[in-house]
Structure 1
């Protein structure tokens, strides 16, 4: 475990230094299919909010989990939901209130990572019920909050997508930020819309740029991006 942890930190550091190789990303192939999508049953009400993993209906039902949320909450993923400045841990029916509007959140064990509308971040220890870290990033002129990637837990690191087009890498074990990665440099509406690990490669995208990071290589390509879907080895 330690070996992979240090390898990950090394490749993140190398990717941004002068020793790295910078190249434009070009997909090897494209899979285009014209298929009609049919639902096997009607939805109980209109969709009011959706993410890559789930959708919340007007009547509070979350699909595909088919669970009903408390009044006014919308699902961020299968574990968490939000309503303004209140975060709901669905399985525990536990509410956590903050003093600002929640944008996104992720949970791993007793750790909860939350990003807010003022481009700030908080990491909490749920077992001890106290914050481990509070941090504010650069002031933003404007952000699209409908499609915002959640923080990514990866081994002993947290990759935090900011609303101004950056990734902030936080080392949980040593309690410090170790790297900042710029995905896009637009002045506004520049949030990260996708963040994930695909085939052992870190992928992040804003509306106008996509980057990939793997040992010694930092690749990027400008695109006009609306949505991103991922398979086991491919990005669409």
Structure 2
């Protein structure tokens, strides 16, 4: 990943950090009571759907896997039960099979014989795995620096949704291989690649670090937030912001509830039976489903290490745990 991506240290260094103001809970319930499990090595890279350990093992939405990547490759997706990895130069790995391409890959998904690709030069393409050739390629504005949480393409019926590195979602027909629509999420941000892409109840939700859009039922809703993390659970969207807010919205991005934690710097959101937010000063905040109460626990971790939350599991340093 060092060949292309600049890890937004602003994931962990926020606006206003120079003032050295930190969140401090007035009271906590003590240490979070959970059983942690060990990873076999530390996390060296991650996106929204998984991570690569220093020993080549991977974390996916299915959990910790003993699948081991070839040296020089990093995990980008688990799609159609196939592990996809890249060397960010000229090769992509599909399980153990290597494909050589002219440009490095930063995101990819598979459905049947279709491999949907996002290239490091911000072009998108479709590779036919049966015929072993590119059948579509489209170019967009180059993006020099990106948040590492690059979203992968999404297959939706006979459509492919391509998240670009310059803040767009390109809708392509998987049958004709033609671009049908371009959805602009964030045209202005400096680091404006799509970090989150999902379809919830037939509604497209896409986000950069500063904008989130909802497209469904003939309506488009766009909201501006300085986003630390964003997740979907059931038919709700949860957003953690740089100014310490946790916001709950419906799929049309209408705000249902919000809570504010002064000076809080959130690393990740996870969802068990309710919402959890991991805060940089060693707190784990559990918010009730009605957003009226919370429980704040002490949770010590090295905030200089990489942290990733996938569904109900938080991975940090060389350990992980499942929230309740």
What TM-score does the superposition give when structure 1 sets the normalisation length? 0.79
Q: Distance in 2 between matches of 1:234 and 1:100?
A: 37
Shift of 1:187: 5.1
CA contact (8 A) 1:88 1:96 kept: yes
Q: Pick one of 81, 84, 87 that aligns with 1:83.
A: 87
Aligned with 1:58 (options 54, 59, 62): 54
Change (3 A) 1:145 1:117: farther
**CA shift digits 1:158-202 (9 cap, x unpaired):** 111111111111112223111111101215311111111112211
Maintained 8 Å contact 2:48/2:149 = no
Residue 105 (structure 1) aligned with residue 108 (structure 2): yes
C-alpha distance in structure 2 between counterparts of 1:199 and 1:162, whole Å: 23
- Give the C-alpha shift of residue 228 in structure 1: 1.6
Aligned residues: 200
8 Å CA contact retained: 2:205, 2:215 = yes
CA 1:180/1:59 → structure 2, altered by over 3 Å: closer, same or farther?
same
Q: Does 1:138 align with 2:141?
A: yes
| Larger strand proportion of the pair | 2
Higher helix share: 1
Unaligned runs of 5+ in 2: 1-28, 239-324
Distance in 2 (alpha carbons) for counterparts of 1:175 and 1:68:
33
1:184-199, aligned counterparts within 5 Å? 184-186=186-188, 188-199=190-201
In structure 1, the gaps of 5 or more residues are 1-33
Partner Cα separation in structure 2 for residue 66 and residue 227 of structure 1: 27
Alignment partner, residue 17 of structure 1: none
Is the Cα–Cα contact under 8 Å of residues 103 and 145 in structure 1 kept in the other structure? no
Give, in angstroms, the shift of residue 145 of structure 1: 4.7
Distance 1:214 1:97, change over 3 A: same
Aligned CA distance change for structure 1 residues 136 and 217 (closer, same or farther; 3 Å): same
Alignment of 1:112-131 (within 5 A): 112-131=115-134
Q: Does residue 214 in structure 1 map to residue 216 in structure 2? A: yes
